[in-house]
Amino acid sequence: MATAKKAAAKKTTASSSSNSSTSGAKKAAPSAADMLNPLKGMADKLQNLNLTGGAGKLLESGRKDLAALMQANEKSYQGLQTVVARQTEMIKSAIAEWQAAAKEMPGKDPKENLAKLDELGRQSFQRAIDDIKELANLAAKSQADAFDVVRQRIQANVDEVTKLLQRK
């Protein structure tokens, strides 16, 4: 790369000395090749840029963002599994309770059966309300855990940008 720079410097000095000797104070007009290739020399300029630190940091930040999203998704999925498992337990429990009540009813006084069904209905209704609250809390906790992962990553990004801006 150093030899390429030296060769480019020689071309520049050689062309400027030949132009200055023929035209005096006039500047040399760009050649047709220069006009057709406006990006001439950009490759050399880009090679000289030090992007390793910045590009590495950018890639690492993107990797961390993706890892945080994956972790948040995993937490959300686990929370959903917990909610579904708990809901299944609740349904099985309610079915077992109603089956047991139905087995006890035959052969008893109809008024007693109705009173028992009424009480069982009230208990089931109250349990359903409690179960809904429990499921809502499980879902909210799951989503809060998932959001916390994303929030922490956002905060880390803000901190990184703040550091970069303070250096300049």
Q: In this predicted structure, what is the pLDDT of residue 110?
A: 81
- Cα 115 to Cα 134: distance, rounded to the nearest angstrom: 28
Q: In this predicted structure, what is the pLDDT of residue 26?
A: 53
Q: Has residue 141 been placed in a domain?
A: yes
Q: Has residue 36 been placed in a domain?
A: no
DSSP at 49: S
Q: Has residue 10 been placed in a domain?
A: no
Check the CA dihedral 133-138-144-147 and report its sign. Answer: negative
Range(s) of the domain holding residue 60? 56-168
- Hey, what's the torsion of the CAs at 159, 164, 165, 168, to 10 degrees? 160
Q: Has residue 146 been placed in a domain?
A: yes
The tokens of 141 are what?
């906790």
Q: Has residue 74 been placed in a domain?
A: yes
Reported pTM: 0.56
pLDDT band, very low/low/confident/very high, at 46 (cuts 50, 70, 90): low
pLDDT band, very low/low/confident/very high, at 24 (cuts 50, 70, 90): very low
- Cα 140 to Cα 125: distance, rounded to the nearest angstrom: 22
Q: Has residue 122 been placed in a domain?
A: yes
Number of structural domains, the chain? 1
Q: Has residue 15 been placed in a domain?
A: no
Helix H or strand E segment including 168: none
Read off the amino acid at residue 102. A
The tokens of 33 are what?
């090749």
Q: Has residue 42 been placed in a domain?
A: no
Name the phi and psi angles at 120, rounded to 5: -65, -40
